Amino acid sequence: MKLSRRDFLKLSAASAALASAGCSAPREPIVPYAMQPEMTLPGVPRFYASAASFVGAAEGVLVESNTGRPTKVEGNAAHPGSLGATSVHGQASVLQLWDPERSQAPRRMRQPAAREQFESELNEALVRLEARRGAGLRVLTPTVVSPTLQSQLVELAARLPEARVHRWDPLNRDATHEGARLAFGRALEPIYRLEDSRAVLSLDCRFMEDEPGRLNYIRQYARSRSPKPQSMGRLYVLESAPSLAGAMADHCYAMPLAEIERWLLAFANAPAADRTMRAIADDLKKNRGLILAGEGLSPWAHALVYRLNHELGAPVALIDPIDPYPQPHAQSISDLAQAMHAGEVELLVIVEGNPGYDAPADLDFAAGLARVPLSVHLSLYDDETSARCTWHLPATHYLEHWSDARAFDGTAAIVQPLIAPLYGGVSPHEIVSLLLRRPQSGYESVRGRWKAIDWEAALRKGVVENTAFPPVKAALRTVALPTPKEPAAWSVRLVPDSSVLDGRFANNAWLQELPRPDTKITWGNAALISADSARQLEVESGDVLEINTHGATIHVPACVVPGHPEKSVTIALGYGRARAGRVGNGAGCDAYPLRLSDSLWSADATSIHKTGSRQALATTQNHARMEGRGHAKHIALADLIGQARAFEDETPEHSLYPAWPYDSYRWAMSINLNTCVGCNACTIACQAENNIPTVGKDEVIAGREMHWIRVDRYFEDRRTLFMPVPCMHCENAPCEYVCPVGAPVHDSEGLNLQVYNRCVGTRFCSQNCPYKVRRFNFLQYSKDDEPLKAQKNPEVTVRMRGVMEKCTYCLQRITRARIEADKENRRMRDGEVVTACQAACPAGAIVFGDLADEQSQVALAKRSPLKYDLLAELNTRPRTSYEGRVVNPNPELDNG
C-alpha cells in the first residue's frame, strides 16, 4: 500500500483522537486514591471468623484475607466443631470459591437468562400456588444447619400449609435418628465424649471422617492416647470399609455390614460365649466403655447401641438433631419423587444439593424432574440437576454470603462473607425469602434471626455463646430385635469419599489430587477388595470389575487393600460425574446407580467378575510394606512402661562435617505418630499455604505429585501406620552439598532452604535426598488462570517449571512472627510461629518451634521417650523428628 504524506497525517490524527477517547474519564465524578482504606495493608493479612458445613454440621473457620481476597482457611479454636483445626474440605473450600467453572449466570433451559425474568416467572407461579395454599409447591434442601433457614422454611410452611419441604442429603443421619426413634421415641443425636472413656468400641462408625463432630472427635481421640497406663484409652473397631478409626484401632476386625450387625446381636445377648466378645465386654464395663454406631448400621442396631451405652453408663450425651426434620431423608425424597412422577408438583425449588446425580437410583429422580413444569435449582455449579431444571441460579459460596450454622453439638456460628459475590449469586436465604414473597437480603434474614445477641462479639469470636443444645433426658423403650438376614454372597459397601464427599467437591483439584488415606489413590475411586477376595476373583489392582446388583451394573477398577473384609467391595461415592466441570468430569466411576432408598450404604451384589480391561490407578504410594525398615515405629504400651527410650537412637556418634554454629533460633518440628490419624489435613493445608500446584492424573501416575508434606501409609503387623513426611531440614543435609549452583542453602537458624531463582533444575538434590521430600516442576504446573490466581498466597513465590521445591517450615510465617517480635524488640515466643500443617492438624500431632528455647513445646517433644529420627543411621541429623506410635492392645486378646 502506498501512503502519501497527507494520508499519513490524516490517519495519525484519527488514531490520536480514538486513543484519547479511550482514556477519557467517566461522566460521574471520581476520586483519586489518596487515603488507604483502613486495614487493607498489602502484605498484612486479616482473619475473619466464619463457619463452613460439609458433613451436616458446621466447622468454625478463620479465613485469611489478603487485600480483600480470601486466600486460606484456618480453624477456629473457640468453635467446638473445629477446636482450631480444619478438615481437608475446609482447606479446599477456598479453592472452590475461586473455581473458574462455578456457575456465573442464571440459566433457563440451559441458556443464559436474566434474573428479572426468573423472578417474574417465579412470582407468576407463586400467585397461582398461593391460591391453592401452596399445593404443588415443593422445596428440596440438603441437611439444613442454618437456624435462620430453618425458621424461614417453618415460616414458608406456615404461609403455605399445603406446600412441602423435603430433605435429601446423601450424607444423611437417617439410621442414627431412626435408631433413636426406635429407642426413645424421638430423633436424637448422640454426642460422644471419647476422652472420658478408656475403652471405645466403634461399630463401623467413621467418626474421624464422616460424623458431624469429626474434628472434635479426632482431638478427643488424640487426647485419650496419652501413653500412660492409668489414662490411655483403647479403641476396638469393627469396620466394613477401611476407615481412619480402623487404622488407629488397637484391635480392628473387618467384616461386612451384615456380619457386624450379627456380631452386635450376639455381643448384646451373650458376650460370654465368645472369647473376643467377652474380653471387649469386660474392658468396656471396667473402663467406662463407649460404643459408637455407624450410619451404615440398621436403625435397630443403633437402638441396641443406645441401650448398651445406657447400661454401660457410657459418656455420651443425647441432643436434639441440629436439623429437626421429622422424616428420614430417604423417605422424604421418595415422597417427593412419587409426587413428581404423579404430576403433583408444579413448582420445585431445589436449594443446593445435586439430587439429579445423587438421589437414590430406584426413585428415577431425573425422570420425575422432567415432569415438573417449573423447577428451579440453586447451586454453585451448573451441574447434572441444573441441566434438568427449568431454571438454574448460581448460588453464593459460604465465603460470599451471610448465614449461620450449627456445630454438631448445636453451637451456632454466624457465617460472614469475606468478599462480595463474584458472580452475583443468590443465597439460600434469599431464594426462600423470594418464596415467602418478602424479598430480603441474607444479611437481613440472619440479623433478624439473631436479634438478642451481641452481634459483633459473635462475629468476632466465630460462635454465638451458649447456643449448644442441652442434653436430653430420654427414657429407653424396649426394641424388638430382628433376626438378622443371611449375608449375601458378595456385598458392596458404599461410603462417602474422603475427598469429594458425595461428589460436591468433584471439581476441586486439591481434593482430587489428595491421596485418599487408606489407598493413596488420587483422581478417582476404586472397588477396594481384600487380598484373598482378589485372589478368588483373580484380579489385581487396576483390573476393571463388573459389579451387578439387582437392577444396576457398574464397571470400576479394583484396588487391593490389606485388611478389607472378605466377600465385599467398598466403593466411594461422588465420582463419575458428567457435569462437574473440567476437573471433575470423568474422574472415577459413579456408584450411585447401586444406591437404593431402602439401603443407602450397602448393596447386595448378584455377581462380581473381572472384565479383562485395565485402568491405571493414580496412586501416590506404590509400595505399602515397610520391608522391615522401621520407618514408622510403634510400640505396645506394656513394652513402653519403664523405658527411658522406646526406640534405639541409631545416630552415629561422629560426623565428618563440623557442626553448624547457631547463635539464634533453631527451628525444629516433631510429629507425633501416636495421635496422627492420617486425615491429610496437613497435606492440603500446606498446598493452600504454599501455592503448591496440582499436576493432574497422568502426572500423578508418572510419579510427579507436588505435595510438600505427604502422609505415608504402611501396612505392617496387621496394622495401618500413618506417617506424615515433610522436609527433615537435616543438619548434614545431603541435598546441600551436591547442588552445583548452591540453590539449597543452610540458613543461620538451621532451615534448609531452596532458593528458587537460583535453581537450574539438575535434580541432584532430590537424587541425594534419602527421604524423597523434594518436589520438581517437571512441566509448567503453576497456572496463571483467572480467577484462580486470586487464591495464591502473596507471601510465597509461585514456582516456574524446571525448579525444585520443598517444605520450608513455612518460612513466611516465621518471617511474619519475626517482624512482629522485632517491632517489640524481643525474641519470638514459643507458639508464635505455627506452620500451616500444624495449624490444620485436628489431632495436634505436629509441634513446631525453637530448640534453643529449652522450654518450648518442640524441645519438650524431642525429650519424649518416644522420640526417634527417621533414617538416623544415615547421620543426616534431621530437625524434624517423630514420636512413635503407642498401641494399647488388650492382653486378653491375641489379635493386636
Partner 1 sequence: MAELRGDIAAPLRRWSYASVSDKIADLVLTRPAHWPWLAGFAVTFAGSALFFGAIAYLFVKGVGIFGINIPVAWGFAIANFVWWIGIGHAGTFISAILLLLRQKWRTSINRFAEAMTLFAAGIAGLFPILHLGRPWFFYWLAPYPNVMELWPQWRSALVWDIFAISTYLIVSLLFWYAGLIPDLATLRDRATSRAKRVAYGLFALGWRGEARHWARHESLYLLLAGLATPLVVSVHSVVSLDFAICIVPGYHSTVFPPYFVAGALFSGFAMVLTLAIPMRHFFRLEDFITLRHLENSAKVLLACGWLVAYGYFIETFTAYYSGDPYEIAMVQDRLAGFYAPFYWFLLLCNVLAPQVFWWRRARRSVWLLFAMSIVVNLGMWTERAVIVIQSMHHDFMPSAWGNFIPTAWDWTLLLGSIAFFAFLFLLFLRFLPAISISEMRELVHEEKHA
Instruction: Determine, following the binding rule CB under 8 A, whether residue 614 of this chain makes contact with partner 1.
Output: no
Instruction: Determine, following the binding rule CB under 8 A, whether residue 704 of this chain makes contact with partner 1.
Output: yes
Stretch that binds partner 1, among 307-315, 412-420, 610-618, 772-780 (CB under 8 A): 772-780
Within a 13 Å sphere around the CA of 188, how many CA atoms are in the beta-carbon half? 26
- Binding partner 1 (rule: CB under 8 A), the pick from 9, 273, 702, 819 is 702
For residue 190, list its beta bridge partners: 318
Q: Which is nearer to partner 1, 851 or 874 (CB)?
A: 874
Kindly give, in sequence order, each residue whose CB lies less than 8 Å from that of residue 828, ignoring residues fewer than 6 positions away. 665, 814, 817, 818, 821, 850
Question: CA-based Rg of the chain, rounded to a whole angstrom?
Answer: 29
User: How does DSSP classify residue 758?
Assistant: G
Beta strand extents in 550-702 (DSSP E only): 552-560, 568-572, 602-614, 618-619, 634-636, 667-672
Residue the block writes with cell 463474584:
422
Stretch that binds partner 1, among 38-46, 424-432, 618-626, 850-858 (CB under 8 A): 618-626
> Distances from the Cα of 150 to the Cαs of 147, 190, 418, 440, in angstroms?
5, 21, 23, 15
Instruction: Determine, following the binding rule CB under 8 A, whether residue 803 of this chain makes contact with partner 1.
Output: yes
User: Smallest Cα–Cα separation from 94: which of 841, 583, 788, 781?
Assistant: 788
C-alpha cell recorded at residue 182:
426406635
Kindly give, in sequence order, each residue whose CB lies less than 8 Å from that of residue 566, ignoring residues fewer than 6 positions away. 254, 256, 530, 532, 533
Instruction: Determine, following the binding rule CB under 8 A, whether residue 655 of this chain makes contact with partner 1.
Output: no
Instruction: Determine, following the binding rule CB under 8 A, whether residue 775 of this chain makes contact with partner 1.
Output: yes
Give the x/- contact pattern for partner 1 in 782-801, rule: CB under 8 A: ------------------xx
Q: Which is nearer to partner 1, 69 or 713 (CB)?
A: 713
Conformational region of residue 241, where left means phi above 0, alpha means psi within -120 to 50, and beta covers everything else: beta
Stretch that binds partner 1, among 59-67, 125-133, 680-688, 703-711 (CB under 8 A): 703-711
Shortest Å distance, C-beta 766 to partner 1: 5
Stretch that binds partner 1, among 152-160, 180-188, 361-369, 705-713 (CB under 8 A): 705-713
The 8 Å CB, 24+ separation contacts for 784-789 are 785/100, 786/100, 787/98, 787/100, 787/422, 788/95, 788/98, 788/99, 788/100
CB-based contact 290:199 (threshold 8 Å): yes
Instruction: Determine, following the binding rule CB under 8 A, whether residue 777 of this chain makes contact with partner 1.
Output: yes
Kindly give, in sequence order, each residue whose CB lies less than 8 Å from that of residue 872, ignoring residues fewer than 6 positions away. 649, 650, 651, 878
Instruction: State the SS3 of 833-862.
Output: CCCHHHHHCCCCCEEEEECCCCCCHHHHHH
Q: Which is nearer to partner 1, 186 or 631 (CB)?
A: 631
Instruction: Determine, following the binding rule CB under 8 A, whether residue 779 of this chain makes contact with partner 1.
Output: yes
Beta strand extents in 759-891 (DSSP E only): 775-776, 804-805, 846-850, 867-868, 880-883, 885-887
Q: Which is nearer to partner 1, 440 or 766 (CB)?
A: 766
- Binding partner 1 (rule: CB under 8 A), the pick from 424, 471, 487, 802 is 802
Shortest Å distance, C-beta 736 to partner 1: 8
Site size toward partner 1, by CB under 8 A:
53
- Binding partner 1 (rule: CB under 8 A), the pick from 770, 787, 889, 896 is 770
Positive or negative CA dihedral for 386, 389, 390, 393? negative
Q: Which of residues 231-260 bind partner 1 (CB under 8 A)?
A: none
- Binding partner 1 (rule: CB under 8 A), the pick from 85, 308, 739, 753 is 739
CA 594 to chain centre: 24
Conformational region of residue 542, where left means phi above 0, alpha means psi within -120 to 50, and beta covers everything else: left
As a whole number of angstroms, the distance between CA 165 and CA 156 comes to 9
Shortest Å distance, C-beta 887 to partner 1: 20
Residue the block writes with cell 406456615:
158
Instruction: Determine, following the binding rule CB under 8 A, whether residue 772 of this chain makes contact with partner 1.
Output: yes
Q: Which is nearer to partner 1, 500 or 514 (CB)?
A: 514
As a whole number of angstroms, the distance between CA 347 and CA 614 comes to 45
Shortest Å distance, C-beta 531 to partner 1: 18
- Binding partner 1 (rule: CB under 8 A), the pick from 123, 231, 767, 895 is 767
Q: Which is nearer to partner 1, 502 or 518 (CB)?
A: 518
Give the x/- contact pattern for partner 1 in 620-649, rule: CB under 8 A: -xxx-xxxxx-x------------------
Shortest Å distance, C-beta 88 to partner 1: 20
For residue 70, list its beta bridge partners: 65
Q: Which is nearer to partner 1, 433 or 541 (CB)?
A: 541
Q: Which is nearer to partner 1, 65 or 690 (CB)?
A: 690
Shortest Å distance, C-beta 628 to partner 1: 7
- Binding partner 1 (rule: CB under 8 A), the pick from 763, 818, 827, 829 is 763
Q: Which is nearer to partner 1, 631 or 789 (CB)?
A: 631
Shortest Å distance, C-beta 695 to partner 1: 9
Q: Which is nearer to partner 1, 474 or 626 (CB)?
A: 626
Sheet containing 58-66: order of strands: 46-53, 58-66, 69-75
Q: Which is nearer to partner 1, 745 or 817 (CB)?
A: 745
Instruction: Determine, following the binding rule CB under 8 A, whether residue 816 of this chain makes contact with partner 1.
Output: no
Q: Which is nearer to partner 1, 32 or 628 (CB)?
A: 628
Q: Which of residues 835-874 bind partner 1 (CB under 8 A)?
A: 871, 874
Kindly give, in sequence order, each residue whose CB lies less than 8 Å from that of residue 323, ignoring residues fewer than 6 positions away. 56, 143, 144, 145, 150, 167
Shortest Å distance, C-beta 705 to partner 1: 8
- Binding partner 1 (rule: CB under 8 A), the pick from 611, 615, 768, 797 is 768
CA 762 to chain centre: 36
Shortest Å distance, C-beta 598 to partner 1: 42
Q: Which is nearer to partner 1, 392 or 634 (CB)?
A: 634
Stretch that binds partner 1, among 27-35, 178-186, 633-641, 702-710 (CB under 8 A): 702-710
Instruction: Determine, following the binding rule CB under 8 A, whether residue 762 of this chain makes contact with partner 1.
Output: yes
Q: Which is nearer to partner 1, 738 or 796 (CB)?
A: 738
Stretch that binds partner 1, among 379-387, 604-612, 615-623, 829-837 (CB under 8 A): 615-623
C-alpha cell recorded at residue 557:
477398577
> Distances from the Cα of 323 to the Cαs of 150, 345, 523, 736, 805, in angstroms?
8, 24, 33, 56, 46
Instruction: Determine, following the binding rule CB under 8 A, whether residue 760 of this chain makes contact with partner 1.
Output: yes
Give the x/- contact pattern for partner 1 in 260-299, rule: CB under 8 A: ----------------------------------------
User: Smallest Cα–Cα separation from 679: which of 514, 525, 563, 495?
Assistant: 514
Instruction: State the SS3 of 6-27.
Output: HHHHHHHHHHHHHHHHHCCCCC
As a whole number of angstroms, the distance between CA 761 and CA 739 comes to 9
Shortest Å distance, C-beta 513 to partner 1: 15
- Binding partner 1 (rule: CB under 8 A), the pick from 209, 689, 699, 731 is 699
Three-state DSSP at 217 gives helix
Kindly give, in sequence order, each residue whose CB lies less than 8 Å from that of residue 732, ignoring residues fewer than 6 positions away. 655, 657, 875, 876, 877
- Binding partner 1 (rule: CB under 8 A), the pick from 778, 812, 830, 844 is 778
Instruction: Determine, following the binding rule CB under 8 A, whether residue 703 of this chain makes contact with partner 1.
Output: yes
Positive or negative CA dihedral for 130, 135, 136, 139? positive
Give the x/- contact pattern for partner 1 in 710-729, rule: CB under 8 A: x-xxx--------x-x----
As a whole number of angstroms, the distance between CA 619 and CA 617 comes to 6
Q: How many CB atoms lie within 10 A of CB 891?
A: 10
Footprint of partner 1 (CB under 8 A): 621-623, 625-629, 631, 699, 702-704, 710, 712-714, 723, 725, 734, 737-742, 758-764, 766-768, 770-772, 774-780, 800-804, 871, 874
